[in-house]
């Protein structure tokens, strides 16, 4: 998969590395700001009951 992405990025090695870094940062931001907050209420970690 990473090879496929690397082959399809335009430019030389430096430009590809910069574009790959931007893609990684975009995925991390998407996970942190969209996916994890959406999933968090559905996780059982906050369901604490003490009897």
Instruction: Flag whether the pTM goes above 0.75.
Output: no
Give the burial string for 40-49 (b: 16+ CB within 10 Å, else e). Answer: eeeeeeeeee
6 against 25, higher pLDDT = 25
Task: Please tell me the predicted confidence (pLDDT) of residue 51.
Answer: 67
The reported pLDDT for the residue numbered 21 is 95
pLDDT tens digits for range 7-51? 999 999 999 999 999 999 999 999 999 999 999 888 887 767 776
Per-domain residue ranges of the chain: 2-39
CA–CA separation, 5 and 16 (whole Å): 10
């Amino acid at each position: 998969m990473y090879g496929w992405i690397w082959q399809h990025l335009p430019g030389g090695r430096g430009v590809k590395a910069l574009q790959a870094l931007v893609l990684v940062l975009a995925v991390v931001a998407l996970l942190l700001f969209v996916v994890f907050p959406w999933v968090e209420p559905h996780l059982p970690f906050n369901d604490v009951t003490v009897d």
